[in-house]
Every structure is written in C-alpha cells, then in structure tokens.
Structure 1
Amino acid sequence: MEFTTRGLLEVRITPADVGKRVSVRLLTGSPEPAARFTDVIGVLTSWDAGILRLTRRDGEIVRIAEDTLVAGKVVPAAPARRRGPAASAEELTRVAARGWPGVETERLGGWELRASGGFTSRANSVLALGDPGLPLDDALARVHAWYAERGLPALVQVSTGAADTEDRLAAELDERGWGMRRQALLQVGALARVADEAAGPGAAAGPGETVGSGEAVQLSRTTDGSWLSLYNRAAAMPPEAEAVLHGGPSVWFATVPGDEEGAPAAIGRCVVDGRWAGFAAVEVAPAYRRRGLATAVMAALAARALDEGASAAYLQVEPDNEAALALYDRLGFSTHHAYHYRIRPGD
C-alpha cells in the first residue's frame, strides 16, 4: 500500500470524507519496527470526538484514534471484480431475498420485516434497503416489537463491501450495541460456465445423465422425505420451512439417488428469477463425496435455468467453508459483496 507523496506520509482525509472508502495507516504502539504500523481499508462511517470508525468489507467495525493516524487517502468505492456478471448490491440482495422468501412479511418504509418460524436467519430478519421512513431508533423499536410478538430475536441483514451497500447502517447498529452474527459472502458467476461442467470428462452431468454414483440427477418442483433427509437443516425445521424452500419465482430441486434404502447421494436447490439463477442447499452424503456430485447437481440445475432464460448465477456461502469456496471458484464464481446480521442487545 503506497501513501507517499514526494517521500512523505500524508493524512489526506477529513471528516468531510465520511461515507467514502478510505485506506489509512496508523501507529500500533508496538516497539518492534516491523510491527510499528498497520493498514486498514474500509468505509469511513464516522469521525467524531477524535475517533474514526471504518467498516471493513466483511462488516467488522474498526475504531481508530485520530492521533494514531500517520497516513490516509480516499480509494475507489469498490475493487474491480475479476469476473462475473455486472450487478449492483441492491439488485442482488433483492433477488436473493425473493429466492428465499419469508413466510410472513411487513413493510416499514423501504425495509422489509420477514418471519418464518425461526427457519434460517435470511427468512427471519429485516431486509434493510433504503429508508425505513422513521428515525433509526424508532424504526429499531418497531423491529424489536414485531419480532418479539413472534417469539423471535430482532435481526437486521446488512450488506457491506460494495459501492451501494449498507456500511453506514452497520456502523450505526454497532454504535447501538447490535452485535454481529453469521457472516456470509454473496458470489456471482456466469450460468453457462456452471452448465458446461456437464460436458466435462466424467465429473458432471445434465438431467437424466449418469454421474459418478452410477445414477442420474433427477429434477423436481417439490421436495420429498428423501431430499429432506440429506438437507443439513432438516433436523430443526419448523412447519414454515417447506414454504421457504418452495418459495421463489421458479424453484427446482435436484436429487442424485443413493443406496437402496432411498437416502440420496446428493441434493441441491435452484431458483430462477429473470436473468438470475440462485443456488442453495447443495449437499453430498459423506459416503459419496469426492465423486463430482456437487458439480453434477449444480450443472443439472444450471442447464434447466438456462432453458428458462437465465444467464447469471449467484449463491451465498460462509467465508470459512473452504471446500465450498474451492468448488465455486472452479465453477467461475467470485465474491460480489459480503453480508452479515446484526442482533439486538439482549435477544
């Protein structure tokens, strides 16, 4: 990272730059020369009473004392993606929300409150896009009351790390003691690239074609007990869960049959919404792993989505799921932005 101008470090940011993405260098207080400085990049979300607050790409809030700054500058709003379809964070967030909808919803200005019996954070949190139409503290009080009526914690989904994400909202919630919970990455890729894996040597298949287990990828509009038996959230599914799983504009479920007792070798889900196809619930039974079945399931679903006119793909993945990240990288996905949930203090 380069801060020098004619060999000198300069602080070239001011409180007027709040809301912009900045890069800063600060003193750590370490006596070791190699550890004397550290660098932070993020959105400058506040600068008050001698304290700067930067929101990193992953939503972490970093507090920096003004007197530790040795350099700082404004940097581009978001780094260029190395691949993937162009889209705004708002477009992707709304598409992903439609693909995993809450069973019960209510509008609060530009916010959408979602509840589904506690089944997944996505379907039981506030989609906080735009203005709630109230001062923030009043809006949060309404959010708390709405979720308390349903016996649920108050969660707000917050996107960070792109040009039009809610970095400042993340900082405002942090100031109010709303803790961070469950980080994730929203990744995008070209749908044809995923479908083309079906033509690769032995590693993938389209609908009805043989894959590594000796069986075919079967597609259906609905789940059944066999599909749910492999789904990793099935053990704690409330009645609302199947409505969430089947919700969305055009939903498909994939199954690779496994043993004779009916347990599947692999499953997956895809929802088609205009140009977008969203992948979720890709699971492979332990005995069938490393046979290319996850790739096969995604390729089969991608082929069906292409038939429905989709061209771009998205998915959500936790940042510490190394196996999934490696698979998605091979299929051409890259991270568009991050998101996480903020939970009300005491919930």
Structure 2
Amino acid sequence: MEFTGAGRLEVRVTSADVGKRVSVRYVTDSAREGGRFTDAVGVLTSWNAGVVTITRKSGEAVRIPELRLVAGKTVPAAPARRRGPAATFPELSRVAARAWRPVESEALGEWTLRAAVQEEAGRRTGFTRRANSALPSGDPGMPVAGALERVREWYAARGLPAYVQTATGAEGTQELLGAELERLGWRREVTAELRTAALAPLADREPGPAEVRLAAAPDEAWLRFSRPSAAGDPAVRHVLASGPRVWFASVAGTGGVPVAVGRVVVDGRWAGFTSVEVGPGQRRRGLGTAVMAALARRALDEGASAAWLQVESDNEGARALYEGMGFAVHHHYHHYRQAEA
C-alpha cells in the first residue's frame, strides 16, 4: 500500500490505470462483515459509475465502490513462477490449441473461430468447448461488439452456441476482454487451470500395478470408454487424433475392456496430457499415474522435456493428484457463452 509523508494510506490509482495490475485496500460491507479492511490484487478492468472492478488471476471479478477504497497503487506483473518449466502465455495458448484441433476453422482478424460438430443423442453438439470456441489472440480487426456478433452468426450457422475462450493470471492474458464479455451479457460457464511441470520426474515414476499399452490412434474400445455417447462420430476421432504427434494409452481389464485410458500430444518441447480417465471401480489403485508415466516416457523418447495439462477448477480430486505430481498453475482459462436472446 502507498503511504503519505505523514504515514497515512493513500489511493494512488485512477481510471487512467485500467488495464494495469493494481493492489488496493478497501473497507468491506459493514452491515455484513463488520467493516473490516481487506485487500485485492489483480488487473483493474473497469472504473465506471463509482465502482472499481479488479479481476484476480483466477478470473474472479471483485467490484468495489470507490468510496470504500482506502489505499491503492499499481504494481508490476506477478513474478515468474519458480516451479515448472519457463513458459509464456502466448506459447502455451498456441500449444494447447494445437492439441484440440477443430474440424473447421476461420480467421477473424487475430481471432480464430473453431468448430467440431458431432451428432450426440440425435442432436448436433460441439465436441469439447476447447475445439468449439473462438480463440482470441489479438485484434479481431473490428470493435469487440462487432466481432462477437460475427462469432454468434458463425456458430449459429453450424447449429452451435457461441463460446469465447479467454485467460487470466499471467503476463499478456485477457482480463480486459473477459470484463468486456461480461459487460455485454456473456456468461462464464467454465473455469479451468492450465498447469505445467517438468516431464522427466513424471516419466521416472514407478510403472504401476498394470501393463499400459500405447498406440498411435484410438481404437474403438478406447473411444467407447472415453466417449461412450459419441465414440463412432468422425468429429470425435478427428479432434483426438489430429494433434502434432499423438499417443493413446490404455489399461485392459477383464475381457480386454479398458479400465483406464489417457492421451498425450507431443509438440516440440511440450507434452500435453488429456483424457486421463479411470473407471469408477478401479480408482485409487495408481492406474491414472501409471497411464501418465507411460505416456511421459514416450514423450521423452520423442524429444519433449516439459508437460502441461488442463483441469477444471472445481475438480478438487484431480487438482490434488496433479499437484502431487508437480504440476503448478500457470494461468486460468474461461469459456464464455453467448448471451441468450
């Protein structure tokens, strides 16, 4: 916090600092919380009509009446993480996008519209939000409101709801775009973490209690286990199999039916782990770890040295598992859905 010469707290941020990282202290709602002081650190995403909005690295928006501010200042970007491989947000954003390649895509300035339409239970859906969302990487070439209208039209033509994926919590992420989406009525549906780790320690883990088989393409048993409602859909196979270099792992149970599966996408120095799943009756036996270790060893053989994965923020069990494997949060990403008519 900032102090004056007399030692008093001072607010040294203004509306001109929108887009900068700030740290503020403010008084909470006295009627509910006793009027305590509390702090907020994040990107200043708006200062309108007497209300200050700060977006934390998790994507949470904190709205503060400006009259409750007692101190504040701009602060430098968060220091580089000490855990895991060094990486920038643009690099990881590109790598993650290549791991979920859509069936069709179209450029909108520096945004990319992506779709992978599947038939599920007699209706058209998009296979995963990651392959069915607009990915902003810069300027769409028009005002954001106009770009979002183009996004709506593009997805409506394919019978899909419109999604935009944004990120928060690292240098160069998109807090201001997220705030604009919310202002325009778009609703955040999902928040997830992108985590990174060194690959070698994962590959060095014990092989586990069961044999893990690897293949360069998913067979029908793998697909039925992982995607039972859409295993035969060509869009599903396309998205899963079309990364730079993809490997699929499975552990066979009775009758050769998989009891655990996983996927890794090797892309230069990066190995991205996705679709790691264990059957309900087989959990807590080390099968998920065995699948990831086998895939990590394959990725090492192909020249990768760093690992990444994505996990939804409310999946406490998976987050704890990956934390124990050395995966640390690099940034958060969010899927916003179009405003309903």
What is the TM-score when the length of structure 1 is the normalising length?
Answer: 0.91
Q: Do residues 277 (structure 1) and 271 (structure 2) align? A: yes
Provide the secondary structure at the position in 2 that maps to 1:94. helix
Q: Do residues 305 (structure 1) and 299 (structure 2) align? A: yes
Which residue of structure 1 lines up, in the alignment, with residue 149 of structure 2?
141
Residue 48 of structure 1 deviates from its aligned partner by 2.7
- Do the aligned partners of residues 229 and 45 (structure 1) sit closer, same or farther apart at CA in structure 2, a change above 3 Å counting? same
Post-superposition CA distance 1:278-328 (Å, at most 9, x none): 000111112222121111111111111111111111000011212211221
Equivalent positions of 1:153-172 (< 5 A) are 153-172=161-180
Residue 31 of structure 1 deviates from its aligned partner by 4.9
Residue 11 of structure 1 deviates from its aligned partner by 1.1
Equivalent positions of 1:1-347 (< 5 A) are 7-31=7-31, 35-117=35-117, 118-197=126-205, 204-205=206-207, 211-213=208-210, 216-231=211-226, 233-236=227-230, 238-260=233-255, 262-346=256-340
* Mapped partners of 1:46, 1:29: distance in 2: 20
Checking the alignment, whether the CA contact within 8 Å between 2:28 and 2:34 is kept in structure 1 is no
Please tell me the residue identity of whatever aligns with 2:309.
L
Task: Report the aligned-residue RMSD.
Answer: 1.8
Provide the secondary structure at the position in 1 that maps to 2:188. strand
Structure 1 runs, 4 residues or longer, greater than 4 Å off: 2-7, 31-35
- Do the aligned partners of residues 228 and 336 (structure 1) sit closer, same or farther apart at CA in structure 2, a change above 3 Å counting? same
Provide the secondary structure at the position in 2 that maps to 1:279. strand
Note the residue ranges of structure 2 that are not aligned, 5 or more in a row. 118-125
Identity %: 59
* Mapped partners of 2:221, 2:29: distance in 1: 58
Checking the alignment, whether the CA contact within 8 Å between 2:12 and 2:73 is kept in structure 1 is yes
Checking the alignment, whether the CA contact within 8 Å between 1:55 and 1:167 is kept in structure 2 is yes
- Do the aligned partners of residues 4 and 33 (structure 1) sit closer, same or farther apart at CA in structure 2, a change above 3 Å counting? farther
Provide the secondary structure at the position in 1 that maps to 2:317. helix
* Mapped partners of 2:179, 2:128: distance in 1: 24
* Mapped partners of 1:11, 1:285: distance in 2: 54
Residue 38 of structure 1 deviates from its aligned partner by 2.8
- Do the aligned partners of residues 162 and 299 (structure 1) sit closer, same or farther apart at CA in structure 2, a change above 3 Å counting? same
* Mapped partners of 2:34, 2:204: distance in 1: 48
Checking the alignment, whether the CA contact within 8 Å between 1:82 and 1:334 is kept in structure 2 is no
* Mapped partners of 1:26, 1:128: distance in 2: 33
- Do the aligned partners of residues 193 and 34 (structure 1) sit closer, same or farther apart at CA in structure 2, a change above 3 Å counting? farther
* Mapped partners of 1:273, 1:343: distance in 2: 29
Post-superposition CA distance 1:183-226 (Å, at most 9, x none): 100000001111011xxxxxx31xxxxx314xx11100111122
Checking the alignment, whether the CA contact within 8 Å between 2:2 and 2:12 is kept in structure 1 is no
Q: Which moved more, 1:268-277 or 1:238-247?
A: 238-247
* Mapped partners of 2:141, 2:32: distance in 1: 51
- Do the aligned partners of residues 69 and 299 (structure 1) sit closer, same or farther apart at CA in structure 2, a change above 3 Å counting? same
* Mapped partners of 1:3, 1:194: distance in 2: 44
* Mapped partners of 1:251, 1:318: distance in 2: 22
Count of residues paired in the alignment? 331
Residue 335 of structure 1 deviates from its aligned partner by 0.2
Provide the secondary structure at the position in 1 that maps to 2:229. helix
Post-superposition CA distance 1:42-64 (Å, at most 9, x none): 10012233222211212222222
Post-superposition CA distance 1:10-34 (Å, at most 9, x none): 2121222211111212222325786
- Do the aligned partners of residues 175 and 252 (structure 1) sit closer, same or farther apart at CA in structure 2, a change above 3 Å counting? same
Post-superposition CA distance 1:60-91 (Å, at most 9, x none): 22222211111112223124423011111111
* Mapped partners of 1:295, 1:114: distance in 2: 32
Provide the secondary structure at the position in 2 that maps to 1:81. coil
Which residue of structure 2 lines up, in the alignment, with residue 200 of structure 1?
none
What is the TM-score when the length of structure 2 is the normalising length?
Answer: 0.92
Residue 3 of structure 1 deviates from its aligned partner by 5.7
Checking the alignment, whether the CA contact within 8 Å between 2:230 and 2:236 is kept in structure 1 is no
